[in-house]
């Protein structure tokens, strides 16, 4: 009997991994306690695939732990000592959700088989005894499905990455219009995420808050540089132009399908809890939660960075100001939470890039995207 090590020596692990990277040849893991069956399966399949073998479920799991990234398909016998095939495949599904699973079984009871299919995320079962041609066909179909899922997942990850990078570039291009607001959108998003991550929101809601934070000032794109970067106080007319940016933002992104949901949040980020904000004068919980979160983060960053019209205030002064404006400018509950988080906020302020990668949900989703069969 050839162990995993023997197999890797025969084929050469480098060869297998290199070929795997080029997707020239797929690797199949066969788990069967009967040597005769194992040999038959190997003989049938080794012309087209790399084969790894294990004699029981435990051994199979060990192989998966080490090589799951390279294994496209798993074939397991049903009745085995140590661990039944269904139990093994169920555990294998946790380690390698993207690998296609096939069960070889002597049971023809439909109830047992349906249960097994549901439990293990089976692609298909093959009743024993079987003809080699039948096995070859099922394996070929399984590998085709694996490739299809793989390519779909790659496209999806690429699209998400493109979306995230585009949003980030737009926001940093925007911030660079004014040397005083360099990094503003990123820091506002970071503070908003620190606050939002304590509110028990879903990953999707946090992702949307991140997108909204990065784009909250996108409506400033149409504001003349002379107003954006003016040294000193804006005139009433200039302030009116500036005040149009939340509505400009809404108009800019309302027709983009993926961003439609957040367009209203951008419109509302200068509303105030007491109704004295703009553009609509919304009050209290009429203002979307995300806009209330961004309003606090935005004000904190505006206060703690040097602007063309004044130098930066200290962290403590900004926190005192947020406390003083809780219930008038800001949602009192959110302001209270923000103040409770002040140490994290202050730490994040000193190293926003590093903290951002810790709190970013868009980045996390790209990095941890796992393939799951559809």
319 class by beta-carbon count within 10 Å (0-12 exposed, 13-18 middle, 19+ buried): buried
Among the listed residues 81, 84, 117, the one whose alpha carbon sits nearest the alpha carbon of residue 102: 117
Residues 127-186 that bind Fe ion (CB under 5 A): none
Long-range Cβ pairs for the range 243-246 (8 Å, 24+): 243/270, 243/278, 243/279, 244/219, 244/279, 245/217, 245/219, 245/220, 246/219, 246/270, 246/278, 246/279
**With CB under 5 A as the contact rule, which of the stretches 147-155, 212-220, 236-244, 347-355 interacts with Fe ion?**
212-220
Q: Do the Cβ atoms of 112 and 1 come closer than 8 Å? A: no
**Nearest distance, CB of residue 295 and Fe ion, angstroms:** 9
Residue of 220, 243, 283, 358 marked catalytic: 220
Nearer to Fe ion, 278 or 369 (CB): 278
Nearer to Fe ion, 208 or 217 (CB): 217
217 is a site residue for Fe ion (CB under 5 A): yes
Nearer to Fe ion, 90 or 217 (CB): 217
**With CB under 5 A as the contact rule, which of the stretches 69-77, 105-113, 209-217, 326-334 interacts with Fe ion?**
209-217
d(CA 259, CA 264): 10
d(CA 172, CA 142): 45
**Nearest distance, CB of residue 217 and Fe ion, angstroms:** 5
Nearer to Fe ion, 26 or 245 (CB): 245
Catalytic, 220? Answer yes
**Nearest distance, CB of residue 266 and Fe ion, angstroms:** 9
- Which residue's CB atom is positioned nearest to Fe ion? 217
271 is a site residue for Fe ion (CB under 5 A): no
**Nearest distance, CB of residue 218 and Fe ion, angstroms:** 10
Provide the 3-class DSSP secondary structure of residue 7: helix
Where would I find the beta strands (DSSP E) of 114-238? 124-127
Handedness of CA 244, 315, 355, 273 (dihedral sign): negative
Nearer to Fe ion, 135 or 297 (CB): 297
Cis preceding linkage at 180, omega within 30: no
Please report where in the chains the tokens 């804006």 appear, as a residue.
234
**Nearest distance, CB of residue 220 and Fe ion, angstroms:** 7
Binding residues for Fe ion, rule CB under 5 A, total: 1
Q: Which residues bind Fe ion (CB under 5 A)?
A: 217
Q: Indicate which residues carry an active-site annotation.
A: 220
């Amino acid at each position: 009997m050839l162990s995993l090590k023997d197999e890797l020596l025969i084929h050469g692990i480098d060869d297998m991994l290199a070929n795997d990277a080029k997707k020239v040849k797929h690797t199949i893991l066969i788990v069967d306690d009967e040597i005769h069956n194992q040999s038959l399966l190997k003989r049938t399949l080794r012309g087209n695939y790399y084969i790894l073998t294990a004699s029981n479920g435990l051994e199979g799991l060990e192989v998966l732990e080490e090589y799951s990234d390279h294994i496209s398909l798993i074939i397991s016998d049903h009745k085995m000592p140590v661990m039944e095939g269904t139990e093994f495949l169920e555990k294998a599904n946790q380690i390698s959700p993207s690998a296609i699973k096939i069960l070889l079984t002597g049971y023809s009871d439909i109830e047992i088989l349906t249960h097994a299919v549901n439990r293990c995320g089976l692609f298909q079962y093959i009743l024993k005894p079987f003809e080699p041609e039948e096995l070859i066909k099922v394996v070929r179909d399984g590998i085709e499905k694996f490739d299809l899922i793989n390519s779909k997942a790659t496209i999806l990850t690429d699209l998400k990455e493109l979306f995230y990078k585009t949003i980030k570039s737009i926001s940093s291009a925007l911030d660079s219009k004014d040397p005083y607001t360099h990094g503003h959108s990123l820091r506002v998003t970071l503070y908003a995420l620190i606050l939002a991550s304590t509110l028990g929101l879903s990953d999707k809601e946090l992702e949307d808050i991140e997108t909204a934070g990065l784009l909250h000032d996108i409506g400033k794109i149409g504001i003349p540089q002379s107003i954006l970067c003016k040294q000193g106080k804006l005139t009433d007319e200039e302030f009116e132009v500036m005040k149009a940016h939340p509505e400009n933002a809404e108009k800019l992104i309302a027709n983009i399908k993926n961003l439609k949901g957040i367009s209203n949040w951008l419109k509302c980020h200068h509303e105030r809890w007491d109704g004295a904000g703009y553009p609509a004068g919304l009050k209290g919980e009429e203002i979307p939660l995300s806009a209330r979160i961004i309003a606090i983060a935005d004000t904190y960053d505006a206060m703690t960075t040097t602007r063309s019209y004044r130098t930066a205030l200290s962290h403590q002064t900004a926190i005192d100001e947020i406390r003083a404006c809780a219930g008038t400018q800001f949602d009192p509950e959110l302001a209270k939470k923000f103040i409770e988080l002040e140490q994290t906020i202050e730490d994040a302020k000193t190293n926003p890039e590093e903290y951002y990668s810790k709190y970013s949900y868009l980045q996390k989703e790209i990095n941890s995207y796992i393939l799951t069969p559809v």
